[in-house]
Amino acid sequence: MTDSILVLYGSYRSDRLGIRLANYLVTSLRQRGNDVELIDAKAVGLPMLDRMYKEYPKGSAPSAMEQLAEKILAADAFVFVTGEYNWGMQPGLKNLTDHYLEEWFWRPAAIASYSGGRLSGAHAAVSWHGTLSEMGMVVISSTLAVANISAALDADGKPTGNGGDALAKAFPRFAEDLAWWTEAAKQQRARKAPPY
């Protein structure tokens, strides 16, 4: 069965390297037979949060916000690709995510973090775990963490060197964990309506 997965990425930097990991995940998840779309916060271009999607009268939200809401509601699962800024979250990805709330509910989320250094974005991943849980998603236990991203993935998002080998080795478990929770959530939603 094909799963619909959104891969969300949030760097606004001009020389961003995390897009390599986002592209790797899109390609790898598609190779597993999934319907995958990259949601690039910079390309979507939502403003700094003033009103959440639900706070607009029906049909009056900005077009980009409306289109993304429809994609989120239709998705079976989410993968959040996050860099780490001063031990914290990327503001672009957090801003995009905060425009929505109920739209995220009752689906699994996975976290893939990265950094230019050796810590692999681990601090951001920990921050995202609690945030995504609070936003109504089931966060899977498997994570991907990519250190020294410029050496682990080339410009086309292909694994290189020891870091790339480690990523390619870790990906199947990550993908299987996400697939298991996605199937479980789909079956439960079909069996019983969510309580709220």
| CA–CA distances in Å: residue 114 to residues 71, 73, 76, 141 | 25, 27, 24, 17
| Per-residue confidence (pLDDT) for residue 13, from 0 to 100 | 93
Check if the beta carbon of residue 98 is closer than 8 Å to that of residue 49: yes
- Give the residue among 38, 40, 30 at the shortest CA–CA distance from 2: 30
| Per-residue confidence (pLDDT) for residue 87, from 0 to 100 | 87
Check if the beta carbon of residue 45 is closer than 8 Å to that of residue 77: no
Check if the beta carbon of residue 117 is closer than 8 Å to that of residue 156: no
Locus of tokens 């020294």:
148
| Per-residue confidence (pLDDT) for residue 105, from 0 to 100 | 97
Does pLDDT of 193 surpass 80?
yes
> What domains are there in the chain, each with its CATH number?
4-191 (3.40.50.360)
**Residues 142-154: what's their mean pLDDT?**
96
pTM value is 0.97
**Residues 100-105: what's their mean pLDDT?**
97
| Per-residue confidence (pLDDT) for residue 64, from 0 to 100 | 97
Bigger pLDDT: 148 vs 117: 148
| Per-residue confidence (pLDDT) for residue 196, from 0 to 100 | 85
AA identity, residue 158: K
pLDDT tens for each residue of 47-92: 999 999 999 999 999 999 999 999 999 999 999 999 998 888 999 9
**Residues 13-39: what's their mean pLDDT?**
97
- Give the residue among 179, 184, 187, 190 at the shortest CA–CA distance from 79: 179
Using the 8-state DSSP alphabet, how is residue 171 labeled? H
**Residues 34-50: what's their mean pLDDT?**
97
- Give Cα 192 distance to the centre of its chain: 26
| Per-residue confidence (pLDDT) for residue 57, from 0 to 100 | 96
User: Given the DSSP bridges, would you call strands 108-114 and 77-82 parallel, antiparallel or unpaired?
Assistant: parallel
**Residues 159-173: what's their mean pLDDT?**
97
